[in-house]
Structure 1
Amino acid sequence: MKLVFPEMSDKEISIIRNKFYHHLCDMILESIKSITISEQELINRYVFTNLEEIHKLEKENKSVVLMMGHYGSWEWIFILQKHVNHRGYAVYKRLSNKYFDRLVKQIRARYNSYLITTKETFSTLIKAKQNNELTFNGFVFDQSPKLAKAIHWQYFMGIKVPVHVGAEILAKRLDMATVFLKVKKVKRGYYEATFSDIIRNPKTYNDFQITDISLKRVEEQIYDAPEFYLWTHKRWKHRNDVPKEFQ
């Protein structure tokens, strides 16, 4: 926080930090609650404000790449499958602990969402496209990629960092619409999610332009209410490793 909010005093940082830990505890409890929470209760707690935008894409026969940050709640996004007709996929990194990996899959599959690893993503979605299957593909894209795989660097909260670009590349190759999901924490255990920056023809955009737009939206959410961002995931750990060609 001191890196990205250099103008803040130690007291101000401390207040945000304490609020963040409260939110992190909420997130842990919500993950556990996901095992038993009823469908209707989750629908009441995680509200989508403009679902008509996704229904328009359905009518246009467009599959969707959904981009969001580690902000607010990204665990309960899976209830979206109860509102749309797309087949839902979420790209994730397989956990080393096999028990927890199975548990995570079980929780997120409750509402007909399917977890696929990054290695499985392209082949799975190619097959879906060949079968004329509409898909909804979620990417929590703001985490830090491995340095060896970093092909795009951008300023995030004033600091240049490597950025995942797989979501944009996939959308362009498979002619999918891209959508950013803005999440707002209304109160403890309740969220509002809004679809924005709906791009129907991503191929018309320059390389990484869509990624940069979405990264900017994550940044805006953090400035608005920083306590709801996942500060523990070391987003800026490669800030001193910027290659010369990206400086």
Structure 2
Amino acid sequence: MQLVVFILVYPLLWLVSRLPFKLLYFISDGLYVLLYHVIGYRKKVVRDNLALVFPEKDEKERIQIEKKFYRHLCDMFLEMAKTLGITNQQMKKRYVFTNVEVIQKLEKDGKNVMIMLPHYASWEWVFSLNPLINSKAYAIYQPIQNKYFDKLVRDIRSKYGTTLIKTYESRKIIADAKKVSKLITVGIISDQSPMLNRARHWAEFMGVLVPIHVGAEEICKMTDMIPVYLKVEKKGRGFYQATFKTLAENPKEVEDYKISEAFMKEVEAAIHAAPEYYFWTHKRWKHRNKAPKEFQSS
């Protein structure tokens, strides 16, 4: 059944990848009507999330954010498919790194880098960084259940030479690279909600106490990688600007969990600046009432 679904869907994705951008966004407008007004995909989750983190906004304001988010969601889905057919020249024009010298300087200093980013604006096109750096690029990801689509996603994301690794493989691969003194840059999306039985730290995110992922910080401390936040701004449909910000120059000397908290604060700032570009369909705050007592009293 997985193969049948893939055979039916893949030709459509391939066709989308060959469309000019103007036509791509015309289709996106139609997809928005279907997804938001007809299907109402995860609309309750989005609405509940917005009401939770923006209690100061009235319903009209939150609905405006909601609609803008769904338009962006449709754009981003089609942009991911477009990656199959986008040219290098188009990518350089549409996804601009403002200060790649931050990563290049760390490479010259012999430092391995952990790039931490959220589900915000565009995380699919960050892979175009690879030709601009000298270190071996990896990206930590969660496999898709359908093995055929999983391979497709890996192929898309590895277009520029990045190697995708599963979460459970990451620590070994990073440790092995360090043993042979091979410089690496690892990308990880770190704003998801961890499984409750694996939550090791809780902190406020958008004013709500929730468990936060600390795996990236732990790897940085264990292997002396430099944690770098990637701030992505949407400048227009299909145009993004990405800026690097070092979160700690000596991660081993930073108090535990402060790097993770600093990352979440950066994500908060991005959301407050333009909330429509955050991935509101995730149940990010689902564990908000389950914090251990030691965190509730802090």
TM-score by length of 1: 0.98
Q: Which residue of 2 aligns with 1:159?
A: 208
Q: Matched residues in 2 for 1:3 and 1:116: separation? A: 34
The yes-or-no answer on 1:213 pairing with 2:272 is no
Question: Is the Cα contact below 8 Å between 1:176 and 1:200 reproduced in 2?
Answer: no
Equivalent residue for 2:287, pick from 229, 238, 244: 238
The question of whether the paired residues in 2 share the 8 Å contact of 1:181 and 1:194 is answered with: yes
Question: Structure 2: how far apart are the matches of 1:200 and 1:55?
Answer: 15
- 1:198 positional shift: 4.3
Confirm or deny: 8 A CA contact 1:177 1:202 kept in the other structure: yes
1:32 maps to 2:81: yes
Partner Cα distance (1:186, 1:63) in 2: 30
Structure with more relative contact order (C-alpha pairs < 8 Å, separation 6 or more): 1
Question: What is the percent sequence identity of the aligned residues?
Answer: 51
Q: Which one has the largest radius of gyration?
A: 2
Using the TM superposition, name which of 140-149 and 125-134 deviates more: 125-134
Is the partner of 2:271 in helix, strand or coil?
helix
Alignment of 1:7 with 2:53, yes or no, is no
Q: How does 1:219-234 map to 2 (within 5 A)?
A: 219-234=268-283
Report what 1:54 is aligned to. Answer: 103
State the Cα deviation string for residues 79-131 of structure 1 (Å, max 9, x = none): 00011011111111111110111011100111110111111011111111112
Aligned mates of 1:184, 1:26 — CA distance in 2: 15
1:72 to 112, 121, 136: 121
User: Secondary structure at the residue paired with 1:3?
Assistant: helix
Counterpart residue type for residue 242 of structure 2: A
Q: State the distance in 2 between where 1:99 and 1:19 align.
A: 31
The CA distance in 1 between the partners of 2:135 and 2:122, in whole Å, is 21
For 2:166 and 2:294, the matched residues in 1 are separated by 30
Contact 1:151 1:162 in 2 (8 A): yes
On the 8 A contact 2:247/2:262 being kept in 1, the answer is: no
Using the TM superposition, give the Cα deviation of residue 200 of structure 1 relative to its aligned residue in structure 2, in angstroms: 2.3
Task: Give the Cα separation in 2 of the matches to 1:26 and 1:70.
Answer: 14
Q: Hey, what does 2:181 align to over in structure 1?
A: 132
d(CA) in 2 for partners of 1:137, 1:200: 16
The question of 1:99 aligning with 2:148 is answered yes
Indicate the residue corresponding to 1:143 in structure 2. Answer: 192
**Post-superposition CA distance 1:190-235 (Å, at most 9, x none):** 0000001342210110001011001000000000100000000111
Residues 89 and 113 in structure 1, CA contact (< 8 A), matched pair in contact too = yes
Which of 200, 203, 226 lines up with 2:252 in the alignment? 203
Aligned partners of 2:65 and 2:106: how far apart in 1? 38
**Structure number having the greater strand percentage:** 1
Deviating runs (4+, > 2 A) in structure 1?
197-200
Larger helix share, 1 or 2: 2
1:122-151 deviations in Å (ceiling 9; x for gaps): 111111111211111111100000000000
Structure 2 residues not aligned, in runs of 5+: 1-49
Query: How many pairs does the alignment contain?
Result: 247
**Which ranges in structure 1 are unaligned for 5 or more consecutive residues?**
none
Conservation of the 8 A alpha-carbon contact between 2:115 and 2:228: yes
